[in-house]
């Protein structure tokens, strides 16, 4: 399908009882008890072959449709990133099913689609191809992307000479220049400095308004409220609750955080 062709019937994601387990072949059983009691991470158990597994996602049943802009909240290791990878098709469910219809742009794994040995310019093209663009489309917008990144002469240097934030700038430049149908964002993109982030947020908001569906994992309620209109609480690999941003922040962090995000959203609406 050409990158500009919309998916017939609209974009959608449907998961039914989807589970994702990570087998850990070199786990030390002595340390397991501690991990089970920890508040971070998914449950640790054993599969039918008695291999230790991390149950990163458990029985995820979820329907997402065109226009959905949903934020994911939850503790460290709750399963947010794993869910984004499941929704992008990068991970297959260990059990259950996940059906994805639409062109997905995953914006979390900065290493994917990038080559440390080639220049920033070349990586712009490569990453665009990875996200379903044609070489011609990428060449047409490479200068605009280069300007956005403000990386100057570094764009002629191999990517391995870049800092983490510089790589994020490059990846953000590419992703905000395309038109994905399903946008999956991880807050890891926050590795850039404050000045650049201000500019990137505007571009991201624009990208989100162009895309058919957004799922965004974030530890920042404000950032979540800027891009999403509903939220879902992931807790130890399960969907604990889905609802409005205010509802979910209140349930996850308590009434004070809920009131604070409600006031923030009101201010956002007032100021347009």
Q: Is 49 or 269 the residue whose CB approaches ligand ATP more closely?
A: 49
The angle that helices 135-149 and 120-130 make with each other, rounded to 10 degrees, is: 130
Nearer to ligand ATP, 104 or 151 (CB): 104
CB 82, min distance to ligand ATP, A: 3
Quick one: 54 or 138, whose CB is closer to ligand ATP? 54
Cβ at position 151, least distance to ligand ATP in Å: 27
* Residues 47/127, Cβ–Cβ less than 8 Å: no
| Cβ contacts of 125 within 8 Å, gap of 6 or more | 135, 138, 139, 142
Task: Please state the closest distance from residue 210 (CB atom) to ligand ATP, in A.
Answer: 26
**45 or 152: whose CB is closer to ligand ATP?**
45
Question: Do strands 182-186 and 213-217 pair parallel, antiparallel, or not at all (unpaired)?
Answer: parallel
DSSP H or E stretch at residue 166? helix 164-175
Which residues contact ligand ATP by CB under 6 A? 22, 41-42, 54, 56, 74, 76-82
Report the nearest approach of ligand ATP to the CB of residue 150 (Å): 28
Alpha carbon separation from 42 to 19, 96, 241 (Å, rounded): 12, 18, 17
């Amino acid at each position: 399908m050409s990158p500009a062709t919309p998916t017939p019937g609209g974009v959608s994601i449907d998961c039914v009882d989807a589970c994702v387990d990570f087998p850990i072949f070199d786990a030390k059983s002595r340390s397991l008890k501690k991990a089970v009691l920890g508040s971070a991470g998914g449950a640790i158990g054993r599969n039918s072959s008695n291999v230790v597994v991390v149950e990163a996602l458990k029985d995820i049943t979820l329907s997402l449709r065109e226009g959905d802009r949903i934020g994911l909240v939850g503790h460290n290791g709750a399963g947010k990133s794993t869910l984004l990878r499941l929704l992008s098709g990068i991970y297959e469910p260990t059990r259950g099913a996940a059906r994805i219809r639409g062109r997905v742009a995953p914006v979390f794994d900065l290493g994917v689609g990038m080559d440390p040995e080639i220049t920033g310019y070349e990586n712009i093209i490569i990453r665009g191809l990875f996200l379903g663009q044609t070489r011609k489309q990428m060449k047409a917008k490479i200068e605009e992307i280069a300007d956005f990144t403000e990386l100057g002469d570094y764009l002629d240097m191999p990517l391995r000479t870049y800092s983490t934030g510089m790589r994020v700038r490059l990846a953000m430049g590419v992703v905000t220049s395309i038109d994905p149908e399903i946008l999956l964002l991880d807050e890891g993109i926050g590795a850039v400095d404050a000045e650049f982030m201000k500019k990137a947020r505007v571009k991201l908001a624009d990208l989100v308004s162009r895309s058919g569906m957004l799922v965004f994992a974030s530890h920042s309620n404000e950032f979540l409220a800027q891009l999403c209109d509903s939220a879902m609480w992931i807790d130890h690999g399960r969907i604990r609750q889905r609802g409005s941003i205010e509802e979910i922040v209140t349930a996850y962090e308590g009434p004070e955080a809920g009131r604070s995000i409600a006031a923030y959203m009101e201010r956002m609406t007032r100021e347009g």
